[in-house]
């Protein structure tokens, strides 16, 4: 089949199935176990064939991440990311579809990482492997961790897609920027303990709360119209967003939802509460 271009950040199982075999298509499994359990459908526990055929493992939790950081799955530098992508056979013109085994949970972060590296021909599979299985499509017991031949991917890192604590601190009182926290309301208001040790409870001063489950309809993203209504309650269309969560993972679910809703000034605070919530001088309120 001929090469394809991806025009939406979110694609369906039917869309992907009809394009299997496309010359430049690569399918990546970016599954990461949820650190906080949440209600969802999942693949049957006894299912041995759990992967979309031909997919490769994109492990940003332990491999494609900053190996020198004490914080979980921090964005690596452009050279390291590019080298890891080339090992997976990813090329400059690759059309990449990313899924996870939960629905839409871990895959949006991998999508945002590629976008941060200047690669726009990438999308999230709506519903992930669960939707693929529910559609009765073929699944495989095997997943590749390295391609048969390297790709020629070369990232060009954007400073707009991820930011650090200093940027967040400087924008705490900036009315043109909304800091949106994807954690649960209990964690946001300090009523529930953090799942990671030695972190304070609460949130950044002035931040708003939108638990990531609010943009999901079970395993799928909510329809665009519903996402637009949801975000319209928070900010105008030209608003700048900084998304945060516990570790920079579920923040990317909100990032995907915001882009689908038509917002474009989007940034993820990579360290998120794993960094901000540490004992120290960064301000916290409940």
pLDDT digit string, tens, across residues 72-91? 999 999 999 999 999 999 99
Alpha helices in 55-210 (DSSP H): 78-87, 107-116, 128-134, 165-170, 185-188
Alpha helices in the chain (DSSP H): 13-17, 78-87, 107-116, 128-134, 165-170, 185-188, 224-232, 251-260, 272-276
For residue 245, what is the DSSP state? Answer: -
CB 94 within 8 A of CB 24: yes
Confirm whether 245 is a catalytic residue.
Answer: yes
How many Å apart are CA 276 and CA 199, to the nearest integer? Answer: 8
How much is the average pLDDT of 137-165? Answer: 96
Q: Which of 65, 163, 177, 245 is catalytic?
A: 245
How many Å apart are CA 3 and CA 247, to the nearest integer? Answer: 35
How much is the average pLDDT of 99-119? Answer: 97
Q: What is the mean pLDDT of the chain?
A: 96
Can you give the pLDDT at residue 148?
Answer: 92
- The answer, yes or no, to whether residue 237 has pLDDT greater than 80, is no
Closest CA to 222 of 258, 186, 180: 258
Q: Which residue has the tokens 């693929």?
A: 132
Closest CA to 203 of 233, 256, 246: 246
Can you give the pLDDT at residue 236?
Answer: 78
How much is the average pLDDT of 195-206? Answer: 96
Identify the structural domains of the chain with CATH numbers, from first to last: 10-134 (3.40.250.10), 162-276 (3.40.250.10)
Name the token pair of 76: 């690596």
pTM: 0.97
How many Å apart are CA 89 and CA 2, to the nearest integer? Answer: 18
Can you give the pLDDT at residue 210?
Answer: 98
Can you give the pLDDT at residue 1?
Answer: 78
């Amino acid at each position: 089949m001929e090469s394809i271009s991806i025009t939406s950040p979110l694609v369906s199982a039917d869309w992907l199935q009809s394009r299997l075999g496309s010359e430049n298509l690569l399918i990546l499994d970016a599954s990461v176990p949820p650190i906080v359990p949440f209600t969802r459908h999942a693949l049957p526990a006894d299912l041995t064939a759990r992967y979309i055929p031909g997919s490769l493992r994109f492990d940003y939790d332990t491999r494609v991440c900053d190996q020198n950081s004490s914080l979980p799955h921090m964005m690596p530098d452009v050279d390291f990311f590019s080298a890891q992508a080339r090992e997976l056979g990813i090329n400059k013109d690759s059309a990449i579809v990313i899924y996870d085994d939960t629905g839409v949970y871990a895959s949006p972060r991998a999508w945002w990482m590629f976008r941060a590296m200047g690669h726009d021909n990438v999308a999230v599979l709506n519903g992930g492997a669960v939707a693929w299985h529910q559609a009765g499509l073929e699944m495989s017991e095997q997943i590749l961790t390295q391609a048969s031949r390297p790709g020629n991917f070369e990232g060009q890192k954007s400073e707009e897609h991820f930011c650090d604590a200093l940027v967040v601190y400087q924008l705490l009182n900036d009315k043109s920027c909304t800091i949106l926290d994807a954690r649960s309301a209990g964690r946001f208001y300090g009523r529930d303990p953090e799942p990671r040790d030695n972190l304070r409870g609460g949130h950044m001063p002035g931040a708003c709360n939108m638990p990531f489950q609010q943009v999901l309809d079970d395993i799928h993203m909510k329809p665009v119209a519903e996402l637009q209504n949801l975000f319209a309650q928070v900010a105008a269309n030209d608003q700048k967003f900084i998304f945060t969560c516990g570790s920079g993972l579920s923040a990317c679910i909100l990032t995907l939802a915001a882009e689908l809703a038509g917002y474009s000034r989007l940034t993820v605070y990579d360290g998120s509460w794993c960094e901000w919530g540490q004992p120290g001088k960064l301000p916290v309120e409940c």
